[in-house]
Chains A and B, each alone.
Chain A
């Protein structure tokens, strides 16, 4: 109970955290807001820790002025998993934001930004603790709207406005679908209270599942419902993108998991649907990511991919539940939840890092970046770690998470015969392919941004003291995140019990002998990491030694003896992904425009390729414009003739009378 109060207090504090900077729109106010937010987060985390223990879920119901439902909130391990990032990451992002969007440099966007940022955080936290549909919707929309506000902070740019609009529309459809979902929920359970339903008509349950999948999937960014995600993430300020991608979209996943855990035994097709969607989302997401020309769009699409991985784990767990296989429930759900945490860590890290790059060079275009490692070594190192982690490569946390899901798939194979469960394990192959593509995508970004030599003379900003402090403010949170990635990667055992508890709770296995810790033995991670470290650094040391021996003469890359390799001859981002793109053309559309050089001494020659979003740019936008062209077609009904209007009245009367006569 007391922790519940603490968490609620934390929510209240973060909701109010914007006030200082609203009252005094000065640097001091901005700093104060960040501090208040941080304080709230600390309280919240403190209140949160116990829920992962053996303690049973806490809940609290208070009377509420709305005609139905009460102000009922609850805390449990499943919620805790999602609540922890909600409290931690936005705080880090806020500190980062102090350097990234100094209110003195952004007077216009400054107004209200921190207010909505605070509301955003509070909304997300409330979503997780809400145990009543109305309260949930309230929190949900608070989250959606405030996130829209902070995401379109730079709404002077038309591009930002467009992206913001798409996001707003998408999130509104989501909310309407949730209206329907919760209405059905009430219709079948008799109340808006979100407590596990004992029995439910299969038809209704299936309908609710589909609606939840659609409504929450929009927020989570399941393909093809991801259309808002890349634009919104790319055009939001980087500290906001970090929170949106690292935390907010996970709450879509949370919604799906919460509803499925509340409903009685799921039907088989639910698990299949979620698994299939997960595979599609993961593969398509990363395939699209490899083609993007904008560093933040790459990260955004990779978020789609990661959501897909989480969904795969969830689907596996659902299958496990409907087939009554605890091992699959624990491994699948455990992997999903673990990945939720991991993605929160490294994706926010990467977005912050991208922000650092943008802050330094002022561009998001990969083609005009390059060779930044020499200029910003720390950022490069951090990005490298993040990239390895997000490509799920050992020995970092990304691998630890996916390892659980893989284990689940392999268990699925060895478990039982006949089609069905083993077939699901084919997901492992998809996951492997996703992993390989992730490596491709992030080598591409890391290579084009930090390695090689600069592709365009980027404006070198004067290094004054305030900028130093800004960089320091931005780097510190990233260091923490990297540290977390490494620690979790080396010793997953530290967090496994919490995740296991949550997974067990989701599957209703809270008090059974089988635990995730028992299923997944992570004792190998540390030795492996050490071995890698020792070997690699040893070899590296040898190289350095022999390099010392060599004559120190700086010479350009040999490059098969090219006379003058210029930066513009480097393999750019689009050329890097060209071959990959061609082999992925079955899922990733690429629009190429090229005029090859003609003749012996070609004057000109050009090639350009861009990767539109298949769903948004090739499906939705055309449909929308079609609708815009058709709608006015019906306007002839109202051309201003009074006589016509009066005729309408007569006609309406006659028709209604006819109707009335017919129905009587």
Chain B
């Protein structure tokens, strides 16, 4: 989960995307590992595969495309500097640990690791969402957030029927897809991806 902090740290959107892709790809098979042999059913394998495919390949691809469309390389002067946001991320992780202990985790096998990780990832996602100006970085933030939730989902694979899990993934995918379409439109309309331009509607 150190990747989160990297995501916060780096300024090059391209690399951030790569990081997120790796993260997604890693997350995919985790459920299988968690549940060892007996957990492996056709459904879960399929789900894992789909997850890897979508998060590892498809979404990054889409984002790269829109990135190329709006040729921007780096997040210039974010709302909060990089170093502070890294610190924030660390703080978030700490909070997550506190939270999960206070909630009293330690149910399933890896849960006492997974819960804080999940919460931390969610928080990091939030940090990215709220501190970055570029529309695309916000998309990434959203993705990180989703990853965090997905991590939590690890705990209850068997609770999630195949349909639902597929649905979640599909939603995620379509969501990113639509959002990137919009970002492209934004790029065309405002000739930049800077969300500071998007403040004409108020009150």
Give chain A's interface residues, CB within 8 Å of chain B: 632, 635, 638-644, 646-647, 650, 661
Q: Is the CB–CB distance between B202 and A642 below 8 Å?
A: no
Choice from A638, A639, A642, A650 contacting B195 with Cβ under 8 Å: A642
Complex CA–CA separation, A405 to B181 (angstroms): 80
Top 3 nearest A-B pairs by Cβ distance? A640-B199, A640-B202, A643-B130
Identity of the chain B residue whose Cβ is nearest the Cβ of A657 in the assembled complex: B99
Interface residues of chain B, those whose CB is within 8 Å of chain A, are 79, 102, 126, 129-133, 138, 195-196, 198-203
What are 11 pairs between A and B in contact, CB < 8 Å? A639-B202, A641-B195, A641-B196, A641-B199, A642-B138, A642-B195, A643-B131, A643-B138, A646-B126, A646-B130, A650-B126
Residues of B within 8 A of A635 (CB): 202-203
A643 touches B202 (CB 8 A): no
The smallest beta-carbon distance between A321 and chain B, in angstroms, is: 54
CB distance from A647 to the nearest CB of B (A): 5
Considering the complex, give the chain A residue whose CB is closest to the CB of B123: A650
Least CB distance, B169 to chain A, in whole angstroms: 23
Smallest beta-carbon distance A658→chain B, Å? 11
User: In the assembled complex, how far is the CB of residue B80 from the closest CB belonging to chain A, in whole angstroms?
Assistant: 10
B133 — which chain A residues lie within 8 A by C-beta?
Answer: 643
Q: A650-B126, A650-B130 are in contact. Are A643 and B203 (CB under 8 A)?
A: no
> Are A638 and B203 interface neighbours, CB within 8 A?
yes
Give the CA-CA distance A643 to B202 in the complex, in Å: 14
Residues of B with C-beta under 8 A to A650: 126, 130
A to B contact number (C-beta, < 8 Å): 35
Tell me the nearest residue of chain B to A635, going by C-beta: B203
Contacts of B199 in A (CB 8 A): 639-641
Contact of B201 with A643 in the complex, beta carbons under 8 Å = no
Shortest CB–CB separation between residue A407 and chain B, in angstroms?
Answer: 62
Q: Which chain B positions have C-beta within 8 A of A647?
A: 130
**Shortest beta-carbon distance, B143 to chain A, in Å?**
14
* Residues of chain A contacted by B138 (CB below 8 angstroms): 642-643
- Most A CB contacts (10 A, CB to CB) among B129, B131, B133, B198 go to B129
Chain A residues within 8 Å of B131, by CB: 643
Distance of A642 Cα from B182 Cα, bound (Å): 15
B118 to chain A, nearest CB (A): 15
CB distance from A618 to the nearest CB of B (A): 31
CA distance A639 to B79 in the complex (A): 16
Most-contacted residue by chain B among A638, A639, A640, A643 (CB, 10 A):
A643
Q: Which of A639, A641, A644, A661 has the most CB of B within 10 A?
A: A641
Whether A646 and B203, one on each chain, are in contact in the complex, defined by CB atoms closer than 8 angstroms, is no
Cα of A337 to Cα of B131 in the assembled complex, Å? 71
- Which of A632, A640, A646 has a CB less than 8 Å from the CB of B198? A640
Contact for A640 among B102, B129, B201, CB less than 8 A: B201
